[in-house]
Structure 1
């Protein structure tokens, strides 16, 4: 069932200068295992993601897309190379600073939605702000704004099990925006959705990038969805083979 993307935020929430690169990746390398069984997930990958753009990563399973997302998101560490996010070199951050970076500056959207089943849509969106101890009134106002942004203002009291797959992913996008991130990282965000719903969710993500002034790095294999990106990086065997 197709779902239409709706809404724009009233104000932009981007931090920092409006131009330049949000993400700078230089000669990134990552190997899992050692010896004859070593898997070279990334072999010297370099690219930039300009502020305010939606850049897509495409490639077959095992090409290195998820590894890049995990490294840029601070969920894993590279064996070599450098990642600069919003002017900060991730290699210079300790565990606490990386945690704060992920909590305050990055919004994550996963294929599996990752919502908490016992919480309502509104409560799920509010979780990141609770972790930051945002005052209740401010938190509630932002939850209402974000649910309206993703077209779910009338579904605030429903739990994930009462929502369609497309609606759940919309809640996940709203949650990713809760703490006003500068970067959204999405790993196959439409992987569990039918074609029409997936396209609607991707169109919403693109609209969010525009209206909220954020940057997005999205892994997807769907050619129809790739057409909505500002740029597409194709990976093969841990290397970028095209940049269009």
Structure 2
């Protein structure tokens, strides 16, 4: 039996400010199979971002374990965590995070330059990815020349540059209007199909959940399986 891409077991995380303790996770547990598109829903402040950060090795849990692609994230050294994030995990945030002075193509190729991908291979990968997200004709435009939805598509293409096994998307439609936002989840579905990547997307937008294979509800620090909503 193939091991799941992500295994989360009894994950806990509490934030402390002086004498005040705010539990974010109280024993969250779930698995995500390879090639799945899983949505995590919950109200703002429910801990979705914290959960994604723990899966991606950006934060350290107080208790429990996270396994990604068979490896225990909690046992990795700083160098190993860096390699995991660079080579195996892609990130998409609601704020896009694009570099304003660079074109769409140049933003997408940044991860490829970091790993010294040969120029011809780099150019072809950028071309393929911009085509995948529907921006082949916008390669030379800078972020300020693109709409919010187009900037998010560039961010998705950039996250896929190094062929990650896992894509983590944190409220990727949070700054988009409803019509533009509705196009992002089908795009992530296309990414699962064409790139063979596993996707975990955090959102509280009910309209975006219908594209997911599974939906997990995060409430009071624990996750529970919930039915995928019917479109309409």
Band the TM-score falls in, shorter-chain normalisation: over 0.9
The superposition leaves residues 98-129 of structure 1 with CA deviations (integer Å, 9 ceiling, x where unpaired) of: 01100110000000011000000000000001
Which of residues 126, 129, 140 is equivalent to 1:157? 140
Give TM-score, length-normalised by structure 2: 0.95
Consecutive unaligned residues in structure 1, runs of 5 or more: 1-16
1:89 counterpart = 2:89: no
Does 1 or 2 have the higher relative contact order (CA < 8 Å, sep 6+)? 1
- Provide the C-alpha distance between the structure 2 equivalents of 1:126 and 1:153, rounded to a whole number of angstroms: 14
Residue 7 of structure 2 is matched in structure 1 by 24
Consecutive unaligned residues in structure 2, runs of 5 or more: 228-232
- What secondary structure sits across from 1:227 in the alignment? helix
- Provide the C-alpha distance between the structure 2 equivalents of 1:186 and 1:55, rounded to a whole number of angstroms: 10
- Provide the C-alpha distance between the structure 2 equivalents of 1:75 and 1:129, rounded to a whole number of angstroms: 21
1:223 counterpart = 2:210: no
- Provide the C-alpha distance between the structure 2 equivalents of 1:238 and 1:106, rounded to a whole number of angstroms: 24
The superposition leaves residues 117-173 of structure 1 with CA deviations (integer Å, 9 ceiling, x where unpaired) of: 000000000000111111111111100010011111110000000000010000000
Over 2 Å off, 4+ runs:
241-244
Q: Please provide the CA RMSD for this pair.
A: 1.3
1:43 counterpart = 2:26: yes
Residue 109 of structure 2 is matched in structure 1 by 126
Summarize the alignment of residues 158-237 of structure 1 with structure 2, pairs less than 5 Å apart: 158-237=141-220
Contact 1:63/1:238 (<8 A) preserved: yes
